[in-house]
Amino acid sequence: MRLLIAALTTFLSLCAPVFGFAEASAASRIKDIVDIEGVRKNQLVGYGLVVGLNGTGDTVRNAPMLKQTMESMMGRLDVNIRDASLNTKNAAVVMVTAELPPFAAPGARIDVTVSAMGDAKSLLGGTLLVTPLLGADGEAYAAAQGSIQTGSVSAGGASGSSVTKGVPTAGRIASGGIIERETGFDFNAMPIVRLTLKNPDFTTAKRIADTVNKAYPGTAFADNPTVVSVRNRPEMNMMSFITAIEQMAVTVDTPAKVVIDEVNGVIVIGENVRVSRVAIAQGNLTIRVDERPFVSQPAPFSQGQTTAVPDSSVSVEEEKGKRLFELQETTSLTDLVNGLNALGVSPRDMISILQTIKASGALQADIEVM
């Protein structure tokens, strides 16, 4: 990982004089930097029963809801099992989750995820019985049913040994859900639509409003760093208006930030990071203590004893070739990358250097440690 990051940093420093990091300031489409109010997925959840398991399902003793669920399920099919003694391990109670896409029409299919609730060992080979999927309002928007695919392998021996690959207690049913009703969201009837920035910023929000107003005067207003409201044109419906806005290009402004992942040794430096003039010295001091005991033999007929005598060796090594390096006041990301590379340090040491520069007040940026 260190070699990879070091190579990447060197690559950036070599490319900087040629490209000047112009791509960092390239304009982005509005559709790539905002979300549109109301155009989102809705989460669905349901409680169901999986049958057909090969002895890997719930036990009635440890999962009492299994008995209740089976009695309720069979009761709807006019089969009374309330007085029966259930001791099956071929069924399991599960939670079923899915996402309802925006503007989904009845009859469309969606993928569903099935997860065991009780002490089932595996859902491999099981079949989910028809399960209503409810929204946050408690209404059923879809129904799920089908064979479960877990993508896992589980095997066990008589002595208790077992091998498991993946998670056998959770799986998916591709296209296992059928949408039964729409959300009732009428997009074209909205007079005003709010555009929500994925990365809130005052400057970017103002630029979006200015870009839209340049093409359609008086239709956009930046409410805050997160929301830009746009009013529909009388001669267009909202669908056509938003389609035209999405293709407009805006230069995204970003705050000066340095993101550090100390676990993997990854450093990401934003384009707007600046460093005041500062001098840096970096080096490593290694102290090594070696123990080499030897055996002391007494002289013949001296009545002495053989003993082990410790022999310690201490050495101090200081890395050579490191000197005080002056980092000039930077005007671009290129200068900062070149200055840090001139120190000849590893990414791990570079993390410490950046944090120390920030502590001295010379780094004009926020440091975010992950």
Q: If pLDDT is split at 50, 70 and 90, which confidence band does 269 have?
A: confident
Shortest CA distance to 194 belongs to which of 168, 167, 175, 212? 212
Q: Within 10 A of 312 (CB to CB), how many other CB atoms are there?
A: 9
3-state helix, strand, coil in the chain (%, to 5): 25, 35, 40
Measure the CA–CA gap between 219 and 210, rounded to whole angstroms: 10
Would the pLDDT of 161 be above 60?
yes
| Strand 266-269 relative to strand 307-309, pairing | unpaired
Q: What is the mean pLDDT of the chain?
A: 80
Tell me the one-letter amino acid at 189: A
Look at residues 116, 125, 144 and name the one whose alpha carbon lies nearest to residue 59.
116
Instruction: Label residue 320 by pLDDT band (50, 70, 90).
Output: low
Q: What is the amino acid identity at position 33?
A: I
How many whole angstroms separate alpha carbon 207 and alpha carbon 292?
71
Give the N- to C-terminal CA distance of the chain in Å, as an integer. 17
* pLDDT in the model for residue 23: 44
| Alpha helix segments (H runs only) across the chain | 2-19, 30-33, 64-76, 202-215, 238-246, 333-342, 347-360
Cα separation, 223 vs 202, in Å, equals 10
- Do 150 and 113 form a contact (C-beta atoms < 8 A)? no
Whole-angstrom distance, CA of residue 240 vs CA of residue 188: 9
- What distance in Å separates the CA atoms of residue 315 and residue 312, rounded to the nearest whole number? 10
Quick one: pLDDT band at residue 250, thresholds 50, 70, 90?
very high
Domain ranges of the chain: 2-23+256-290+317-369, 28-39+187-250, 42-179
* Bridge partners, residue 16, by sequence: none
Indicate yes or no: pTM above 0.75: no
User: What is the mean predicted confidence (pLDDT) over 6-20?
Assistant: 41
Task: Inform me whether the pLDDT recorded for 48 exceeds 90.
Answer: yes
Which amino acid, one-letter code, is at 114? V
Q: What is the mean pLDDT of residues 216-227?
A: 94
DSSP-derived pairing of the beta strands 257-261 and 153-156: unpaired
Q: How many of the other CB atoms lie within 10 Å of CB of 238?
A: 20
Q: Among the listed ranges 81-90, 308-317, 342-351, which one has the minimum average pLDDT value?
A: 308-317
Are the beta carbons of 248 and 241 closer than 8 angstroms? no
Task: Please give the single-letter amino acid code of residue 267.
Answer: I
Structure tokens at 19: 């490209």
Of 333, 294, 338, the residue nearest 313 (C-alpha)? 294
pLDDT class of 284 with cuts at 50, 70, 90: low
Q: Which two tokens stand for residue 48?
A: 């169901």
Going by their DSSP bridges, the two strands 257-261 and 366-369 should be labelled as parallel
pLDDT in tens, 134-154: 999 999 999 999 999 987 666
363 contacts 272 by C-beta, under 8 angstroms: no
pLDDT at 214: 95
Of the candidate ranges 108-117, 223-232, 283-292, the one whose mean pLDDT is the lowest:
283-292
Q: Please determine, for residue 236, whether its predicted confidence score (pLDDT) is greater than 80.
A: yes
Identify the pLDDT of residue 142: 96
- Picking from 128, 125, 135, 124, the residue whose alpha carbon sits closest to that of residue 175 is 128
At 364, which helix (H) or strand (E)? strand 363-364
The yes/no answer on whether domain 28-39+187-250 falls in CATH 3.30.1360 is yes
* pLDDT given at position 210: 95
Q: Which residue has the higher pLDDT, 261 or 328?
A: 261
Any idea how long the chain is? 370
Q: 294 with 313: CB under 8 angstroms?
A: no
Q: Tokens 């260190």: give the residue.
A: 2
Contacts of residue 116, defined as CB under 8 A and 6 or more positions apart, other chains included, come to 50, 58, 92, 93, 94, 123, 169, 170
65 CB-near residues (< 8 Å, 6+ apart): 93, 117, 118
